[in-house]
Amino acid sequence: MFACKNCGGNIIYDIKSKKLVCKKCNSSFAPESVTKENDSVDYDYFETTVFTCPQCGAEIMCEDNEASSFCTYCASSTVLTSRISKEKKPDYIIPFEKTKEECIEEFKKITKKAIFAPSELKDPKVLDKFKAIYVPYWFYEVSQEGAFKVSGAEIQRTGSYSNAYYFDVNGDIEGKFEGFCRDASYSFSDDLGERIAPFFPEGKKKFYPSYLSGFYADISDVDSIVYEHEAEELANDVAREVVSNASCKGEYKNMKIYLSNDEATEQFNTAVSAKRALFPIWFMSFKNEKKVAYMTVNGQTGKAASDFPISKRKFFIGVLLLTLIFFPVSFLIVSMFTGRNAFGALDVALLLSCASYIIYYVQMKILQVKDSGAEDAGRFYEKTKVVYIKNKTKNENLINYIKDSIVDFVIGVIYIGVMFWEIPFMLNVSTQGKLFGIDAVSGFLRILLIVGNLVLAVIGFIRAGKLKNSAKYYGVLFGGILTISVLGIELINANSVILSIISCVLLCAGAFLTIFDLVLYHNELTTRKPAHLKRRGGDAIAYDINNLDM
Amino acid sequence: MPTILIILICSLILSFFAAFIACYFLAKITSLPGKKSVAEDDEFNLCGIKYNCVAKNVEVKTKSFSSNENQERKEKMDLYYRDISGRKGSAR
């Protein structure tokens, strides 16, 4: 606690006046003028109270004793244990500029669009739980200075001939970059951090512990080396481009210099330094069933971002409403199959069923990547001690994705090809009313599609089993069984209208169970398990529990 | 079974089918708000980063010229054209 120089009362940082204000006598002080006894003695560390949650193990710094009754990370009302600790002093801090009221207004804007988010998130009592937290960030400064000597080329194409001109380019470079920031806390995924970015370096101040009075602050636990390469590469890219453009003179207007990142670092003397910083984030953990979802608002700009769980109740209501909306179109389509309505509808249902299983298969792949934590550089480094370098271009990402997914790609092409091949047969042949009868030319294709659905369901289920942040759901397997049972029914009697309608229902039920599994998985990954970890909340829980498998 | 009843039942099944697929995507799209910022007026898209990068005293000396399209050069040229097609803006 910081004491008022006039009356000894508690003083806290006031966002609007940007000063420390005494609750008792209304005195106000500049943050840099208020220090504790030990602050001036130790330049690298400062003394603070660290609270630990017995439920989830999260640790958070706070000068205020109110923190002892509520955990910001797992949202449990519990008595936190506290201890006095010496923490590494950050170099900078960006003080809060947005008040709680402004933060709630910004958050309301995104909840308006999130029509399937739980209704509780619009409840003022819930919104009041937003807490102001300073999150540790690495603030990178990059400098480039000195003489360079590089090679460049320009190739001029005339008709089918090309003339190549090669050059030596000499000069001096001078570059300064400030404000490349990455979060140094496991509690935030890189993705969420990037979505509330940017923080503008113009607002940064030299750190004084008094800025934290009245706020929570998270503790840094990601090494600065994790993002150094990104900062270096970004500066080299810009410098390379600047030198290329400066070299384009006279008739050579498209000269390009060629340098790898390492060569650029050497030529431009690129040097990266990392500073510790605390950035302001309005933060709320929302309990959804037994897990928590994080809601965040940038305390400097007011930009809000969140991973909302899907409310099951709202999902069912949405399905019913859309059913009513789609009904006239479906009626029209089924009516078009004159004299063979049930058989035509079964064909359409089969195609929709295929679409559902393809969606499941693809989505499960995306969820698997998210679940592994491989996209979070901090978690990746902690596990592997290897700096994760993000692929820079969309093309590179696409090529790597295709390389990794060659089996998926082949299955997809064949499967979708069969689906499209099926359409003309569906329109012409099913008039005979024999979906799987030997006289139906497309019978074989339809059997392929149904078996294909089962294969996709099984592969998807195996993938789901590998998700470490979630429980197992069996909807897709039941769905696959229902789908394959259609094959049996139709083989018994493909000419029965009643059996065709039953087959339609089975296909529909199977696909619904499959898609609903995706909703459940989505909810699993937008929320985090708060319990059973050794030390911290957030992504660290996933890491600790799952022992990330890369 | 009367035809109209068959049409009604089948239409209901199909509309429910289409509804939950559409609903899933709608829920998915709306549940992850907050897009990454893009600095449209910045040629390098360095949103939130203060920077100043200048190349001074740049001297360009012609080293060699070639119009032979051998395999190695061809690969270089392909690389060159790929890079050029992605370039934009000018020096600061």
Reference A89, options A61, A57, A122; nearest CA is A61
Mean confidence (pLDDT) of chain B: 73
Could you give the CA distance from residue A72 to residue B5 in angstroms, rounded to a whole number? 56
Q: Which secondary-structure segment (H or E) carries A271?
A: strand A271-288
Shared domain check, A115 and A245: yes
Report chain A residues whose CB lies below 8 A from the CB of B55: 171-173, 239, 242-243, 246-247
More confident residue, A378 or A214: A214
Residue A148 reports pLDDT greater than 70: yes
Shared domain check, A492 and A520: yes
Shared domain check, A286 and A427: no
The chain A residue lying nearest B65, using CA atoms, is: A165
Contact B21 A165 (CB under 8 A): no
Tell me whether A146 touches chain B (CB under 8 Å): no
Which residue out of B1, B3, B8, B15 would a mutagenesis test of the A interface target, given it has the greatest number of A Cβ atoms within 10 Å? B15
Residue at B17 is within a domain:
yes
Average pLDDT of A492-509? 85
Residue at A536 is within a domain:
yes
Could you give the CA distance from residue A1 to residue A64 in angstroms, rounded to a whole number? 6
Report chain B residues whose CB lies below 8 A from the CB of A170: 57-59, 61
Preceding peptide of A54 cis, ω within 30°: no
Shared domain check, A280 and A157: yes
Residue at B66 is within a domain:
no
Q: How big is the A-B interface in CB pairs under 8 Å?
A: 285
Tell me whether A303 touches chain B (CB under 8 Å): yes
Residue A222 reports pLDDT greater than 70: yes
Contacts within 8 Å (CB) and 24+ apart, A366-373? A367/A464, A367/A467, A367/A518, A367/A521, A367/A522, A367/A525, A368/A463, A368/A466, A368/A467, A370/A525, A371/A467, A371/A468, A371/A469, A371/A470, A371/A525, A372/A468, A372/A548, A372/A549, A372/A550, A373/A539, A373/A542, A373/A543, A373/A548
Residue A123 reports pLDDT greater than 80: yes
- How far A261 CA sits from the closest chain B CA (Å)? 15
Residue at B10 is within a domain:
yes
Shared domain check, A135 and A82: no
Residue A3 reports pLDDT greater than 90: no
Tell me whether B75 touches chain A (CB under 8 Å): no
Residue at A246 is within a domain:
yes
Q: Report how many domains make up chain B.
A: 1
Report chain A residues whose CB lies below 8 A from the CB of B50: 177-179, 201-202
Q: Which two tokens stand for residue A17?
A: 């006046």
Residue at B26 is within a domain:
yes
Share of chain A above pLDDT 90, in %: 12
Residue at A381 is within a domain:
yes
Report chain B residues whose CB lies below 8 A from the CB of A323: 12, 15-16, 19
Shared domain check, A187 and A120: yes
Average pLDDT of A270-291? 85
Residue at A208 is within a domain:
no
Residue A532 reports pLDDT greater than 60: no
Report chain B residues whose CB lies below 8 A from the CB of A199: 48
Contact B57 A326 (CB under 8 A): no
Contact A497 B52 (CB under 8 A): no
- What confidence score (pLDDT) does residue B73 get? 59
Shared domain check, A139 and A66: no
Read off the DSSP letter of residue A44.
S
Reference A352, options B35, B18, B92; nearest CA is B18
Shared domain check, A407 and A283: no
Given CA atoms A242, A246, A247, A250 in this order, what sign does their dihedral have? positive
- What confidence score (pLDDT) does residue A42 get? 57
Average pLDDT of A389-409? 55
Looking at A72, A93, A114, the residue that finishes a domain is: A93
Shared domain check, A504 and A407: yes
In the structure, what pLDDT confidence band is assigned to residue A167 with cuts at 50, 70 and 90? Answer: confident
Residue at A139 is within a domain:
yes
Range of the domain at B13: 1-32
Contact B46 A234 (CB under 8 A): yes
Q: At what angle do helices A497-526 and A443-466 cross, to 10 degrees?
A: 20
Residue at A207 is within a domain:
no
Residue at B73 is within a domain:
no
Residue at A210 is within a domain:
no
Mean confidence (pLDDT) of chain A: 77
Residue at B45 is within a domain:
no
Residue at B78 is within a domain:
no
In the structure, what pLDDT confidence band is assigned to residue B88 with cuts at 50, 70 and 90? Answer: very low
Find where tokens 């592969």 sit: A459
Could you give the CA distance from residue A151 to residue B63 in angstroms, rounded to a whole number? 9
More confident residue, A40 or A190: A190
Tell me whether A10 touches chain B (CB under 8 Å): no
More confident residue, A472 or B27: B27
Tell me whether A176 touches chain B (CB under 8 Å): yes
Residue A95 reports pLDDT greater than 80: yes
Q: Which two tokens stand for residue A415?
A: 């499967």
Shared domain check, A319 and A462: yes
Residue A143 reports pLDDT greater than 80: yes
- What confidence score (pLDDT) does residue B82 get? 61
Average pLDDT of A402-407? 60
Listed in sequence order, the residues at least 6 apart from B56 whose beta carbon sits closer than 8 Å to its beta carbon are A171, A172, A173, A174
Given CA atoms A428, A430, A436, A438 in this order, what sign does their dihedral have? negative
At A60 the three-state DSSP class reads strand
Shared domain check, A17 and A106: no
- What confidence score (pLDDT) does residue A533 get? 37
Q: Report how many domains make up chain A.
A: 3
Shared domain check, A407 and A284: no
Q: Which two tokens stand for residue B77?
A: 């040229």
Range of the domain at A537: 312-546
pTM for this predicted structure: 0.72
Residue at B69 is within a domain:
no
Residue at A3 is within a domain:
no
Find where tokens 């030596």 sit: A168
Could you give the CA distance from residue A57 to residue A219 in angstroms, rounded to a whole number? 13
